[in-house]
């Protein structure tokens, strides 16, 4: 097996999503994922502690990018404008592979309670990263938490819409979703 070829981590994620979709999460083994990805089991474990972690592989990076975008927003930016900057920053790291895996990943998560739990924890982590970044900007706690949750929902809605297209620009969809949520929030009086 050509474990020295570049891209082993991405190949493992793609292989896992394919297998989870084909035969279900519970029926899929680490050995099958490694074989499909063209790597050894030991290479798998160098990248991931277990198969659950495959589906949250980019969470830390995504959370970091969201926080960096918020931190880098102009000092005059409102909390929502800072969140928009975070969405743009995080979106820039998402490419065609992420878009193409979206529907299969969604199906795999929907079919497994364990994966639904991991997905929920991923969402909590992303919202927490955005909240911390907003707090660091001096945004009051309740406002920071609300803006972060809106950002998370906008990212999810934008990502879902993006996966149904062949466009490269996730940011366009995430920002449109954020604007839609802002408008909906204004009607909640």
Instruction: Return per-residue pLDDT of the chain as tens, 189 residues.
Output: 444 566 888 899 889 988 988 888 889 999 999 999 999 999 999 999 988 888 777 778 889 999 999 999 999 999 999 999 999 999 998 888 888 888 888 888 888 888 888 888 889 999 999 999 999 999 999 999 999 999 999 999 999 999 999 888 999 999 999 999 999 998 988
Fold of 58-186: Tetracycline Repressor; domain 2 (1.10.357)
92 phi and psi angles, rounded to 5 deg = -65, -20
Is the CATH code 1.10.10.60 the one for domain 8-51? yes
Give the residue extent of every domain in the chain.
8-51, 58-186
pTM above 0.85, yes or no: no
Chain Cα centroid distance, residue 46: 21
Element (H, E) at 15: helix 8-23
Q: What value does the CA radius of gyration of the chain take, rounded to a whole number of Å?
A: 18
8-51 against 58-186: fold identical: no
């Amino acid at each position: 097996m050509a474990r020295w070829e570049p891209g082993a981590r991405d190949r493992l994620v793609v292989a896992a999503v394919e297998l989870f979709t084909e035969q279900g999460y519970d029926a899929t083994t680490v050995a099958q994922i490694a074989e499909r990805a063209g790597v050894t089991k030991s290479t798998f474990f160098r990248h991931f502690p277990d198969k659950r972690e495959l589906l949250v592989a980019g969470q830390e990076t995504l959370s970091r990018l969201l926080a960096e975008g918020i931190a880098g927003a102009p000092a005059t930016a409102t909390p929502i404008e800072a969140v928009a900057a975070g969405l743009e920053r995080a979106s820039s790291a998402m490419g065609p592979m992420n878009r193409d895996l979206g529907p299969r990943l969604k199906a795999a998560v929907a079919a497994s309670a364990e994966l639904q739990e991991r997905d929920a924890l991923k969402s909590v982590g992303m919202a927490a990263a955005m909240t911390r970044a907003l707090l660091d900007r001096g945004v009051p706690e309740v406002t920071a938490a609300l803006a972060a949750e809106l950002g998370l929902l906008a990212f999810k809605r934008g990502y879902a819409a993006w996966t149904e297209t062949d466009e490269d620009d996730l940011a366009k969809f995430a920002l449109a979703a954020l604007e839609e949520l802002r408008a909906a929030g204004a009607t909640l009086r």
